[in-house]
Amino acid sequence: MNNFKQNLLKKRYNAERRFQWYGKIAIGLALSFLAVFMFQIFSKGYSAFQKTWIVTEVHYDKELLLIDAESPSKDDLENADYYDVAYKAMTSLDPRLTEEEDRQLIQMVSYKYETEVKDLLLKNPDYLGKIVPIKLTASDDVDQVHKGNYPRDIPEKNRRVNDYQLQIYDMLNERGDILSEFNISFFTSPDSREAELAGIASSFMGTVFSILVCLAFSFPVAVLAAIYLEEFAPKNKFTDFIEVNINNLAAVPSIVFGLLGLGVLLAVFNLPRSTPLVGGITLSLMTLPTIIIAARASLKAVPPSIREAALAMGASNMQTTMHHTVPLSMPGTLSGTIIGLAQALGETAPLILIGMVAFVNTIPGTPVDPAASLPVQIYIWSESAERGFVEKVSACIMVLLAFLILMNLAAQIVRHKFEKKWS
Amino acid sequence: MSKIKAENVNVYYGSKQALFDVSIDIAEKEVTALIGPSGCGKSTFLRCLNRMNDVIEICRVEGSIKMDNLELNSRKLDVVRLRESVGMVFQKPNPFPKTIYENVAYGPTIHGIAQSKEEMDQIVETSLKKAALWNEVKDRLDEIGTGLSGGQQQRLCIARAISVSPEVILMDEPCSALDPIATAQIEELIDDLKKEVTIVIVTHSMSQAARVSQKTGFFHLGKLIEFGPTDKIFKNPDNQQTQDYITGRFG
Amino acid sequence: MNLILVTFIVLLAFTSYYFGRKKALVIQSSQRLTALPKFYGYYLAAWCAAPALIIFILWSVFEPSIVKTFILQDYTDQNLTKNELQLIYTKVKALALGNYTGNITNFLDASADKYIQLKGIANSAKVAIILAILIFSLSYAYRSVQKNDRMREPVEIFLKWVLFVASLGAVLVTIGIIFSLLFEAIRFFQAVKFFDFIFGTHWYPAKTFVRDGQPDPELMKDAFGAVPLFAGTFFIAFIAMCVAIPIGLLSGIYLSEYAGRGVRKYAKPIIEILAGIPTVVYGFFAALTVGPFVKEIGNAMGLEVSAESALAAGAVMGVMIIPFISSLSDDVITAVPQNLRDGSYAMGATKSETVKKVIFPAALPGIVGSILLAVSRAVGETMIVVMASGLAANLTMNPLESTSTITAQIVVILIGDQQFGDPKTQSAFALGISLFIVTLFLNVIALSVVKRYREKYE
């Protein structure tokens, strides 16, 4: 073996090792993108599941409430004036209060604090005339300070929380009157302009309704279409055209479906704007090719011997298909459907175009009420400037991802549990 | 003179044993044919000789295979260098989807055999001439190799194998995908090549083994049943099983 | 009203199914059945529901335009444009439904009355016709059942038609896309010259907004030049591909050729998670983390970097596309027959030489196809660009500046309330059809390349 060949061999093996490293680095990069990404979302978002309360005392003074009756009815309590009572509950936190400072104190809780004071009494009518402790939702600025997301050492004029408020916050914190609890209202409240009150209930319901509508429209049509194309369609130009059409449709950008929804569903059919009904139909048009392709693949996977066996028993084509082929292909079809729905679940652009981006502060009860959806909610919140929304967006993303993971798991389970393996 | 000496070779695919204690002596510059019914392990044995079994993840080889006193079945062996000197031709012609020229030049290029373009041209020409393909393709060396006919493709693969001047060429049923005329051409070629290289050929066809080989080994169920001069194996085998197979009673 | 009618038809169909089956059992007592009893039920149910529902759908589709023609007949003598007529009709409808807030003229009031009247007539006519059809088709079907004709074949033929119609659904969606885009786009090109759109270099549709009345044609000429958007779209897609192709391709090759079964089993699905993350999440990530990060690094190197740079959006988009390229190229490479690999190894080639010199060239068509599909995906991607790469359409080739894309502009134009008939709104559809054509072109080529590749090795 001469020297030249020895060197060449060495070079070849080095090249081999280098190439393997390129592959490893590429995979490592892809995996680390995912890791960084997940870390960012979780580290930013987990705090949104905590809600900050300010504890104070409220005196349900009958005079201040303007209640005259001796034993007031529910209506009396409902119509009483809570402004002064609520105001006093907050201002009592600092007895040496100047007039300048009372507004700053009030700003430490959410603007709905009056309602919270009222709700407590309505729930417990016997509190009337008594002094009782009450939890008030802290404003998002106080909330962020408490969670440590807000730098305290920058100059006062650049801060949303001023020195006085920080002083009160510190005092309350020392006394243990700042509470941090699991944020139930994040899941039960609709959207709000105020970060501390905003929740995902409206968008969550919007998503649920859209997905149900999407399922109701796309699944039957897609399965029937797949059955026709796979089992009955004659091989001719027209069915070839349908096939090409479906494959291309699966790759059309989602925003084009949004334009379709806008141009046809809203403009021609006059369906109600901003509703999960229209959103769901738009998404179903998008999901249709995905499900058709999945259903055809699993129909194709049913071995011809099963069909031949049924046909040989004298079953008609239709009976063979409906009794044997279709049931056997169902696990694959279903898991394909769930994956298609999961894709639809994450879609944003088409929903924005059909107006599901409107600000909705009520929880939709039917598919024809205006609603947002989880991904759109992420978009809406991420466009807001307030810091409190950043953690809300991250938390909303976590909910959405959890939803997606669940659906994909379901698809896996359906596939592995029920699918027959043909050898 | 012995070129390759295998002793007690056992091969396992996962937990399934495919070869049992095969020992064989392959003589230099002769054609050795391995025959036997399908699944008998003859191809598996062939692939041990240039370590092609490494490609199969679950495959494990035990025993000793020595080529000119170099242990082939050793972790330390550089398979790249081994395969440079032990070429292989497969059952199905598998030219690369490249030009005819590139197909033949592939080996010399990666092993750095040719120093210049002229030298490479020379290597390609001699290899194709030795493979008896030169006259058919000399005007279209830049056409894609997969465009040739089956027999031509297989001869191209042989040209590819001899381009690096190997000491041994392994042939795994090289004619099973070819028509009789192409088969005859390949057999002629094997006869020519044996002047320079040692050839081990696995074949299904007993008549082919009888025509081209000097020694024949009969494999059955993973065991080497009988090995000896071709004449003897076909006319007067020692073993009853060999006799039965040769006379077509099974297989 | 419609709901009640549909429910009635459906309920009736169910009833007739049970009735038909029962009838079959009665027939059975005297003569041989021609099919299973349930087919008698299906037969009746199909005859009950299908004609009625078809008529119902057709009626619902055509009724509004017929009513509209009747209403607008009264206005034909006023020489109104199409848009004005549309406006009047909207007003009449709103007035009739009781949610009109504008000025009510006598004429309008009369039209609204007429509208209500027409609607009433139409409704009762619909109910009457559908009831008649129900009675007719049911009695026809019942006679066949009584005659004990062959019941299975017609039911199966009917089912086959249902299946066929469902398979037309996909075609219908495509037609819907093309028509809805084309319709508005054509109207857009009536206002803006086609060449001004295709070759114009200024995109600034907000400029054309004029309260009432037509915008200045001179302004229109210079506001809808889509070149910056086309350029921005392909520029960002290019950046994305610069990230996705090397990483995706190398991971695909590593997974298919090098990785052991354990690595492959876990790494592949984990990488594919990247494809399952909704794009809006990537957008948030790009806007909040990557954008500022790129800006900081750029500033540290003394470069002027916009917070919404094309680089940030493109890079994040690239990460999103990695799994597309890695999975597709993995599939394509795995499809290369083993005997080519064997041929190369038997020549003494190392793994990387085999990959680079034999497998890669053999898989190239498939890989090109999957890259084209990925490009089409990048071109159509919306949310990342909307959130991370600015909305001003700059004609620039500097990855550190912000650019906009076709998709982002469609969102910008159509977010919030749209006014149909406004060239700004219509321009979104013109952009949409350009996007559709570009992606369709890419897809058709990619799919046919991949298909031919698959056939070659099957």
What pLDDT digit, counting tens, does each position of B140-164 carry? 999 888 889 988 999 999 999 999 9
Q: Work out how many domains chain C is built from and give that number.
A: 2
Q: Do C357 and B81 touch (CB under 8 A)?
A: no
pLDDT at residue B114 tops 90: no
Q: Do A264 and C176 touch (CB under 8 A)?
A: yes
Contact with chain A for residue C408, Cβ under 8 A:
no
pLDDT band at residue C415 using 50, 70 and 90 as cut-offs = confident
- The whole-number pLDDT of residue A88 equals 80
> b/e map of A26-54 (b: 16 or more CB within 10 Å)?
bbebbbebbeebeebbeebbebbbbbbbb
- Residue in A15, A292, A404 closest to C352 by CB: A15
Q: Clarify whether residues C272 and C412 are in a common domain.
A: yes
pLDDT band at residue A19 using 50, 70 and 90 as cut-offs = very high
Which is more confident, A341 or A62? A341
**Chain B: residue nearest C339 by CA?**
B94
- Residue in B92, B164, B170 closest to C347 by CB: B164
Between A123-137, B63-77, C213-227, C421-435, the lowest mean confidence (pLDDT) is in C213-227
Complex ipTM value: 0.88
**Chain C: residue nearest B102 by CA?**
C357
Among A375-389, C7-21, C46-60, C434-448, the range with the most confident prediction by mean pLDDT is C434-448
- The whole-number pLDDT of residue A79 equals 79
Min Cα distance B135 → chain A (Å) is 32
**Under 8 Å between Cβ of C232 and C404:** yes
Min Cα distance B53 → chain C (Å) is 10
Q: Which residues of C touch B97 (CB under 8 A)?
A: 340, 361-362
- The whole-number pLDDT of residue C218 equals 65
- The whole-number pLDDT of residue A140 equals 82
C96 located within any domain: yes
- Residue in A19, A228, A246 closest to C164 by CB: A228
Smallest Cα–Cα separation from A252: which of C450, C442, C436? C436
Q: Do B106 and C340 touch (CB under 8 A)?
A: no
Min Cα distance B80 → chain A (Å) is 9
Q: Clarify whether residues C298 and C424 are in a common domain.
A: yes
Q: Clarify whether residues C140 and C229 are in a common domain.
A: no
- The whole-number pLDDT of residue B57 equals 81
Q: Do A34 and C285 touch (CB under 8 A)?
A: no
Q: Which residues of A touch B112 (CB under 8 A)?
A: 4-5, 8
- Residue in A22, A224, A375 closest to C166 by CB: A224
**Chain C: residue nearest B50 by CA?**
C346
Q: What is the CATH number of the domain that holds B224?
A: 3.40.50.300
Q: Clarify whether residues C143 and C236 are in a common domain.
A: no
Q: Do A289 and C170 touch (CB under 8 A)?
A: yes
**Chain B: residue nearest A13 by CA?**
B80
Q: Do B110 and A5 touch (CB under 8 A)?
A: no
pLDDT tens for each residue of C128-186: 988 898 888 888 888 877 777 777 888 888 888 989 988 888 888 889 899 888 988 88
Q: Do B94 and C345 touch (CB under 8 A)?
A: no
Test the A interface: residue of B111, B116, B167 with most A CBs within 10 Å = B111
* DSSP string covering chain B: -EEEEEEEEEEEETTEEEEEEEEEEEETTSEEEEE-STTSSHHHHHHHTTTGGGGSTTEEEEEEEEETTEESS-TTS-HHHHHHHEEEE-SS----SSBHHHHHHHHHHHHT---SHHHHHHHHHHHHHHTT-HHHHTT-TTSBGGGS-HHHHHHHHHHHHHTT--SEEEEESTTTTS-HHHHHHHHHHHHHHTTTSEEEEE-S-HHHHHHH-SEEEEEETTEEEEEEEHHHHHHS-SSHHHHHHHTTS--
Q: Do B80 and A12 touch (CB under 8 A)?
A: yes
Q: Which residues of C touch A256 (CB under 8 A)?
A: 177, 181, 380, 432, 435-436, 439
Q: What is the CATH number of the domain that holds C232?
A: 1.10.3720.10
Domain boundaries, chain A: 55-181, 201-418
Min Cα distance C269 → chain B (Å) is 22
C176 located within any domain: no
pLDDT at residue A199 tops 60: yes
Q: Do C376 and A251 touch (CB under 8 A)?
A: yes
C171 located within any domain: no
Q: Clarify whether residues C225 and C132 are in a common domain.
A: no
Q: Do B111 and A4 touch (CB under 8 A)?
A: no
pLDDT tens for each residue of A81-127: 888 888 888 877 777 777 777 778 888 888 888 888 888 888 888 88
Q: Clarify whether residues C231 and C357 are in a common domain.
A: yes
B174 located within any domain: yes
Instruction: Tell me how many residue pairs between chain A and chain C have CB atoms under 8 A apart.
Output: 257
C390 located within any domain: yes
Average pLDDT over every residue of C84-90: 76
HSE at residue B230, side-chain half, CA atoms within 13 A, is 19
- The whole-number pLDDT of residue B250 equals 67
Residue B74: give the domain boundaries: 2-246
Mean pLDDT of chain B: 90
pLDDT band at residue C418 using 50, 70 and 90 as cut-offs = low
Residue carrying structure tokens 């199905």: B92
Q: Which residues of A touch B81 (CB under 8 A)?
A: 9
Q: Classify domain A201-418 at the CATH superfamily level.
A: MetI-like (1.10.3720.10)
- The whole-number pLDDT of residue C219 equals 66
Q: Do B107 and C345 touch (CB under 8 A)?
A: no
Q: Which residues of C touch B88 (CB under 8 A)?
A: 342, 346
pLDDT at residue B98 tops 80: yes
Average pLDDT over every residue of C433-437: 93
Residue C321: give the domain boundaries: 221-456
